[in-house]
Structure 1
């Protein structure tokens, strides 16, 4: 029977034998063979013995026989350009895995640009004009194509018009009873300064950034208990906190699509006047008493006495001034020690500044009692120390003494705070009410992330009301994705993964042993390096997407760099997080 057409191949075999000297030696045999089938059997024919050739030549011959085109090393491939990609890819993977991109709206050019703006805000926050340079220096520029400033502003306008729809979708996802059985919503207010002089929302007001002499806007943030941003409202810079609270409280039930909700706000937000307004709604609320109200509870053998804390660190009390409300008094000894130490420091620092004024009066440089009083008042008001000093001011002299009764009265309440709520004990026990109020710290984390740590919402350069609102909303959405990224990537960062649940309601939670070890060794348990969140984003950015060309051809192709072990793990963590958290 005739043979089929022969096919050549390289056969390499290795064997270990003992030579005459008694030493075990490996022998390599490299044969050029043809294979053919004869009478139903596969047979081989050796054409040449290539054992003397080096391994590189053998591999080249093997590849050539396999049909691969061989070109001279060094001229085969060229990297035409490398662009950072890994950090952008992580943002998109999170957004698409959560269904976030689809929630923004139907696929269109504006949505693509909004997604790119979100990625830029998370990876390299800057002004909109500087963001165009970021696009060009990352794979966003390749994927988007040419983008002008007009394109950016059209996309922002598109986003602003969809704000209510997007916020309703987020509220349904994060506040509906199935995922939010406590029916809790957190709300707090902050401010950021504005550049220019034409923004209609800009006004002088109380600056939470301590930025004096500039106009600002205020914005209220709505979040779930974990601190995931859900909605934001922008107010003129001179809006009082309670006014802003009532404005957004009226929208909460409609946003979430539920009949009852518990709002959590700080003592400056949910005041007695606001509580009266809330009685006309079905909203529950949790807040805290101001220091002056706490002093009234402790005065004249009132219900708030230190003996309440002999056996426990919290106690529920009542008072006729708060009908239909529950008051939960808490005592935190470490907080008491901190306040005592801080008060002593402030008293000493205030006295040093008063001595400076006294020297000016004694030397005759300050001769008018009224002017002296103004300087003294400014000094005492800086740290709210006026209540602790008794002053004597004339045109030629200025003296003071500390008020021991005032200091002692304040010291008696060191470490004590009082939570107030209208939520019944059946729905929320005393310990849980304290935890709920303390969860407001999660909203503070949002503001910290927005302002400086991650997203740099300030300063605000926009000059129209609509663009200002769109900018703040864009930053809120970036904060939403940032929360998920931080949560997903915490096994690779210094974040404490072992916080007790539920937390002890009053005392501060100590850092876990595992988190302390990560911080001291700068390593994870498996020996891999630990990162800050921003440091991890920078590491992800080192995974590039490369534009390649091949010698002898005119086309190009894209090639992603191989991920590092950390980058592999980060992508796996994002996939797992989106799988478990898709709403």
Structure 2
């Protein structure tokens, strides 16, 4: 709708309101005619009032730039954080997690990456930056639903996506455990005190077991009581994983913490192949003498028969330097403690470098130099116990992938802040672990895509830049139409768009 001034043959100027909404010009109203300029100005004002009355809208005054800008700003109806959805949400959908239709599931996973706080803080953040409102009851009802019905679905989606990107059957899996402590005083059926990998032995905790593929893509997890021996957590997860996906053969890779006679026998009884870190210093005297008699050079390895198993021993100059450094550092710490008088009889044990202590006479604690020197013979040596039918080089290569699961726990505890866990009920603690599992899957997928694109960006930078991309919605004051615009202000914003094609 607009105003037209039309001059006739007699010189009169008609002021008309014209509508072109149908594609053709149509005179809605002729306001009047005149030759006097002041009268014409008055007729134009009347035409504007007519348009405002008919349409119920304003007309933008483009002649005054400040007024025009103020009008635009006053008609902004929404200002939302959208970068996380454009990047992380896109990857979430591509993996297949959008099969779970609950919007809250997606929001909680994404915000575990961009704003890893308590669930209630997360919902506050969602309302503040995305105008999404979730009540506390709605939040806790969903966490219960996630535990009751969606945990298996989550792990299946992760497994199927990993299978598709590896483009091969999963035959080798890597297993490890960590502990997650709670800042509470009393134990319950799940949260119990036990050996803490974080040194929080006085705090109730849970034990978390994680299974990953090569390259560290998460496959399955489970949660156990805090006082459960980590060696007893492995087979339940692996048995369930194998049965769920009808896998015929699996090679299990785990570090020395999972090595026990019971585990080895159980793995053999169930026809699993395995590669376990070996405790070569606790082998029989015969095997220890055999190991120490080896003259291995940097990068060399050998195989020693141990009943129906193989013990592979390797040597590395770099490892030898590291072993020596740690040993001498531990010795200096002990010597300092002895001088200060802090060490007593109770300090004599076989934990860490305390094994170098012994009692002299009745009360004196001294360094056992002979034991220290004997230990030096093991610098640079590492062992692997296996029954795998793979070539020696493949066995060692597979074991060397185990660091990726250590990274998974590190990312979960730092970037994703798996703790503190504010929940008390077991099913909600379980739901929290599940959300962290999915968030880590997204983390690994971002990492994979960055590697494919040969980008020098880190996952952390992708997340950080995505948190600064907003979208505004403006209501057109003329016709009421909502205009949406994503604001890409910086080179980093544009680079992110180029990387992830949103």
Tell me, yes or no, whether TM beats 0.5.
Answer: yes
Q: Residue 487 and residue 152 in structure 1: after superposition, are their counterparts in 2 closer, same or farther (change >3 A)? A: same
CA distance in 1, matches of 2:495, 2:302: 47
In structure 2, the residue matched to 1:559 is 485
- TM-score between both structures, scaled by the size of structure 2: 0.79
Residue 479 in structure 1 maps to residue 440 in structure 2:
yes
- Kindly state the Cα deviation for residue 351 of structure 1 after the two structures are TM-superposed: 1.2
SS of 1:318 mapped into structure 2: strand
| SS, match of residue 77 in structure 1 | helix
* Alignment partner of 1:436 out of 370, 374, 398: 398
Distance of 1:112 and 1:235 partners within structure 2: 29
Counterpart CA distance in 2 for 1:199 and 1:136 is 34
Inter-CA distance 231–181: structure 2 relative to 1 (3 Å threshold)? closer
Taking the TM superposition and a 5 Å limit, the aligned residue runs for 1:267-346 are 267-293=256-282, 296=285, 299-300=288-289, 302=290, 305-307=293-295, 309-310=296-297, 313-319=299-305, 322-346=306-330
Q: Is the CA contact 2:356–2:372 (under 8 Å) kept in the aligned structure 1?
A: yes
1:83-232 superposed matches below 5 A: 83-102=80-99, 105=100, 107=101, 111-139=102-130, 141=131, 145-160=132-147, 161-174=149-162, 179-181=167-169, 183-196=171-184, 197=186, 199-232=188-221
| Residue in structure 2 matched with residue 536 of structure 1 by the alignment | 462
SS of equivalent to 1:413: coil
| 3-state DSSP of counterpart to 1:329 | strand
- 2:497 & 2:206 partners in 1: Cα distance? 37
The Cα offsets for residues 331-371 of structure 1, whole Å up to 9 and x where unpaired, read as 1101101111221111111111112227x9xxxxxxxxxxx
- 1:422 corresponds in structure 2 to 387
Q: 249, 252, 269: which one pairs with 1:260?
A: 249
Task: Give how far 1:390 is off.
Answer: 3.1
Contact 1:195–1:461 (Cα < 8 Å) also in 2: no
Give the superposition deviation at 1:297. Answer: 5.8
Structure 2 residue matching 1:137: 3-state secondary structure: helix
Q: CA RMSD in A?
A: 2.8
Matched, 1:405 2:370: yes
Change (3 A) 1:444 1:566: same
> In the superposition, relative to structure 1, how do residues 170 and 491 fare at CA in structure 2: closer, same or farther (>3 Å)?
closer
- Give 5+ residue unaligned stretches, structure 1: 1-67, 361-371, 498-523, 525-529, 577-583
Compared with structure 1, are the counterparts of its residues 210 and 385 closer, same or farther at alpha carbon in structure 2 (3 Å cutoff)? Answer: same
Query: What is the alpha-carbon distance in structure 2 between the residues aligned to residue 155 and residue 266 of structure 1?
Result: 36
Is there any run of 5+ residues in structure 2 with no aligned partner, and where?
A: 1-58
Structure 1's 330 and 563: CA in aligned 2 closer, same or farther, altered over 3 A? farther
- Matched with 1:458 is 419
Change in CA separation of 1:256 and 1:171 when aligned onto 2, cut-off 3 Å = farther
2:113–2:463 contact (8 Å) kept in structure 1? no
Report the alpha carbon displacement of residue 80 of structure 1 after superposing the two structures with TM. 4.7
Q: Does the 8 Å contact 1:314/1:328 carry over to 2?
A: no
Question: Following the alignment from structure 1 to structure 2, what is the Cα–Cα distance between the partners of residues 303 and 195?
Answer: 45
